[in-house]
Amino acid sequence: MLFNGSDLGTKEDFESTFRTEKPLGYFIRSIVGLDRTAAKEAFSAFFHQGNLTGDQITFLNQIIDYLTYNGVMTPGVLFDPPFTDIHSYGLNGVFDQEDSDEITEIILTINKNAEAA
């Protein structure tokens, strides 16, 4: 719909102009971010566990803030500042392996949803 090949140009025109081969959804999300409610909903299962520590809640909120601002994220950033401010090991220092894997899967799902846009 966005690329009709005439007035609006082609997908190739877009990729050439913006020098990206990433999906259009990534580009849009990089501009407008991710809806905060959608980001919170993605992590609602963790918040409903009821046994989270303060550091875990803060960490999840940092992820939500990042996604709200940037739209997508690579899981690798969870091992860099500001995510290492709570624990020097980032994600793996705040959560056990099972929860870390689940958080990573949630992030990958959010990113995959951007590809479909």
pLDDT tens profile 4-15: 556 666 666 655
Mean pLDDT of 36-59: 93
Query: Are 60 and 47 a contacting pair, CB within 8 Å?
Result: yes
pLDDT at 18: 55
pLDDT for residue 40 is more than 90: yes
- pTM equals 0.77
pLDDT for residue 53 is more than 80: yes
pLDDT tens digits, 59-117: 999 999 999 999 999 999 999 999 999 999 999 999 999 999 999 999 999 999 888 65
CA proximity to 67, closest of 48, 47, 83: 83
CA proximity to 67, closest of 114, 19, 116: 114
Mean pLDDT of 46-51: 86
